Chains A and B, each alone.
Chain A
Amino acid sequence: MVVDGIIHLVLLLVFAPLLQGVITRTKALFAGRTGAPLLQPYYDLARLWRKGFVLSRTTTWVFLAGPVVGVAVPILASLLLPFGGLRAPVSFEGDLILFVYLFALSRFFVASAALDTGSSFEGMGAAREVTFSCLAEPTVLFSLIVLARLSGGLSLGGLLGPGLNAAWITAAAPLGLIVVCLFVVLLVENSRIPFDDPNTHLELTMIHEVMVLDHSGPALGMVLYGSALKLMVLGSVIVRLALPLQTGYRFSDALVYLAGLILLAVLIGIVESTMARLRLVRVPQVLIGTMLISIFALVLVLR
């Protein structure tokens, strides 16, 4: 179990920024550019880490708690999750609720940190982020209920465990539906393009980025690192669902898992380069649509 935990943490902490690099590289290739090197996110983090803090006088400790919780939560959540064929280091009945609400906790702290600056723009960003996440949350819960129903357990280790291969044969349709739903949630939660633009420079259209405008230096680095970790943790749920291979050896399992993650990152890059951003009023419609699809998947499973 300790070995599992160490492998998990090493995989997560080392490879998380690479996914961002793959996404930007894919987008650059689509645009006909060479693009930044794959390791650019690592250089960015190193650069930010060497800089100093600039703190506004109106902020309190809450402002710094945001980035810290933003990094700690994905690490904790990753321990509940099997990474591909690698078993989850910590697993108990009902940990899927903990998994969902750990992310709610980090959202709460990031939003509080944004409100703590007293800037009206950051308050707007916090409001938008919280609205969209509260619409995305039912989808996640319904998808997890579908998985729980299929596997008969209530722990993430069991839901995403070896039973998935059999479930794909008996209930391919609901599983396919929830993979699509979870992919949409992944895009929303990580503020990717159809819902939010991570590269935008216009405050009025920002959602997630506007909340971290006031962070600088190591704090900004932690925010970026935290979002990379979050992308990897949420992505590994989808990778596990879509690619339930299990070789039995830790090394090859880890390789399959990483290959799946890189495929997922390429897919996100393709979605980002081929889709335009949705208008803000359309986002709730799409999220309600995915929620209805996940409910429909549940109806299919319950029949």
Chain B
Amino acid sequence: MIELSNLCLLLVILINFFTLGSARLVACIRAVALQGALISLLPCLAHGISGHTLMLFGSAFAFKGVFIPWLLLRAIREVRIRREVEAIIGFVPTLIIGAMLTAGAFIFADFLPLFPEHQGGLYVPTSLATLFAGFMLLMSRRKAITQVLGYLMLENGIFIFGMLLTEAMPLMVEAGVLLDLLVGIFVMGIVINQINREFSSVDTARLSALKE
């Protein structure tokens, strides 16, 4: 079980790198969907199979792995964009910064005053690394879709951190978080369409320019 969950967490980190380094939006969305599917497995792997963890698995898989990616894929089909053209920070620099943040997360996690059973595991560093990668994506990209992806990755990181205390976390809280996320994605989808209609591109930098 521990081996399997470690494998999942490693794949999550590799997907972080991939999303930071890739310019293709469809590939990025699929990667984040895969990441969502992987982390939805974690409750079962970390705490054994029970009604509670199965519910968590089902809801997280349905939302993070299937529904939200489907919404995003539909959104980019409507506004006809394929790739992130000009990132604010280039792809290689974001990759390098992302790797440094990941290494930093590993070092930082060793200094945290955690419970002994959580010390040395991969959960805390992976969740921090995913959080940072989400932040990087939010900061360094111009397209609203990639920013939504960054937001999703941020939430994935929080979800992984929540794994440490699933037993204490009521299902309602998790359901509320997922609902918030869903509403957020909906709003972003509408906003993306509006930006596209107004400026005929989805560059968020246009929003800060004043109109004559």
Q: Which residues of chain A are within 8 angstroms of B7 by Cβ–Cβ distance?
A: 173
Q: Is A292 within 8 A of B99, CB to CB? A: yes
Contact B6 A173 (CB under 8 A): yes
In contact, B106 and A289 (Cβ under 8 angstroms) = no
Binds A, one of B9-17, B31-39, B46-54, B198-206: B9-17
Contact flags (1/0) for A198-235 with B, using CB distance below 8 Å? 00000000000000000000000000000000000000
Asked if A288 is at the interface of the complex by the 8 Å CB criterion, the answer is yes
Residues of B within 8 A of A288 (CB): 92, 95-96
- Tell me if A284 counts as interface (CB < 8 A to partner B): yes
Which residues of A are found within 8 Å of B102, using beta-carbon distances?
296, 299
Whether A295 lies near B103 (C-beta < 8 A) is yes
Mask for B62-96, Cβ within 8 A of A = 1, else 0?
00000000000000000000000000000110011
A residues less than 8 Å from B95 (CB atoms): 285, 288-289, 292
Do A299 and B106 touch (CB < 8 A)? yes
Given the interface pairs A173-B6, A173-B10, A296-B102, the reply to whether A285 lies near B21 with Cβ below 8 Å is yes
Q: Indicate whether B117 reaches chain A with its CB closer than 8 angstroms.
A: no
Residues of B with C-beta under 8 A to A292 = 17, 95-96, 98-99
Q: Does B212 contact A (CB under 8 A)?
A: no
Interface centre among A173, A292, A299 (most CB of B within 10 A): A292
Chain A nearest Cβ from B128, distance in angstroms: 13
Chain A neighbourhood of B96, CB < 8 A: 288, 292
What is the CA–CA distance of A284 and B90 in the complex, to the nearest angstrom? 13
> Which residues on the B side are within 8 Å of A284 (C-beta)?
92
Bound: A285/B92 CA distance, A: 6
* Chain B neighbourhood of A289, CB < 8 A: 17, 21, 95
B96 to chain A, nearest CB (A): 7
A22 close to B (CB within 8 Å): no
Q: How far is the CA of A45 from the CA of B211 in the complex (A)?
A: 70
Main secondary structure of the interface of B (DSSP, over half): helix
Q: Which residues of A lie under 8 Å from residue B21 when comparing CB positions?
A: 285, 289
Interface size range of chain A in the complex? 10 to 19
A33 within 8 A of B: no
- From B17, B91, B120, A293 is in contact (CB under 8 Å) with B17
Report A33 CB to chain B, min CB distance, Å. Answer: 30
Instruction: Choose one: B6, B14, B91; the contact of A285 (CB below 8 Å).
Output: B91
Contact A296 B92 (CB under 8 A): no
| Of A173, A177, A296, the contact of B103 (CB 8 Å cutoff) | A296
Docked complex: B90-124 residues within 8 A CB-CB of A: 91-92, 95-96, 98-99, 102-103, 106, 110, 120
Q: Nearest Cβ distance between residue B131 and chain A, in whole angstroms?
A: 17
A303: interface (CB < 8 Å): yes
Q: How far is the CA of A299 from the CA of B110 in the complex (A)?
A: 12
Given the interface pairs A173-B7, A285-B21, A288-B96, the reply to whether A296 lies near B13 with Cβ below 8 Å is yes
Chain A residues closer than 8 Å to B6, beta-carbon distance: 173
A158-191 near B? 1/0 per residue, CB < 8 Å: 0000000000000011000100000000000000
For residues 1 through 27 of chain B, which have their beta carbon under 8 Å from a beta carbon of chain A?
Answer: 3, 6-7, 10, 13-14, 17, 21
Chain B residues positioned under 8 Å from A285 (CB to CB): 21, 91-92, 95
Instruction: Return A149 CB to nearest CB of chain B, in Å.
Output: 15
Q: How far is the CA of A296 from the CA of B96 in the complex (A)?
A: 11
B103 CB contacts on chain A under 8 angstroms: 295-296, 299
With CB as the reference atom, state the residue of chain B lying closest to A286.
B21
Q: How far does the alpha carbon of A177 sit from the alpha carbon of B13 in the complex, in Å?
A: 12
Q: Which among A173, A177, A288, A289 has the greatest number of chain B C-beta atoms within 10 A?
A: A289
- Given A289-B21, A292-B95, A295-B99, 17 additional A-B pairs, CB 8 A: A173-B7, A173-B10, A285-B92, A285-B95, A288-B95, A288-B96, A289-B17, A289-B95, A292-B98, A292-B99, A296-B13, A296-B17, A296-B99, A296-B102, A299-B103, A303-B106, A303-B120
Binding site for A on B (CB under 8 A): 3, 6-7, 10, 13-14, 17, 21, 91-92, 95-96, 98-99, 102-103, 106, 110, 120
Of all A-B residue pairs in the complex, the 7 with the closest CB atoms, nearest first, are: A292-B99, A173-B10, A289-B21, A299-B103, A299-B106, A288-B92, A285-B92
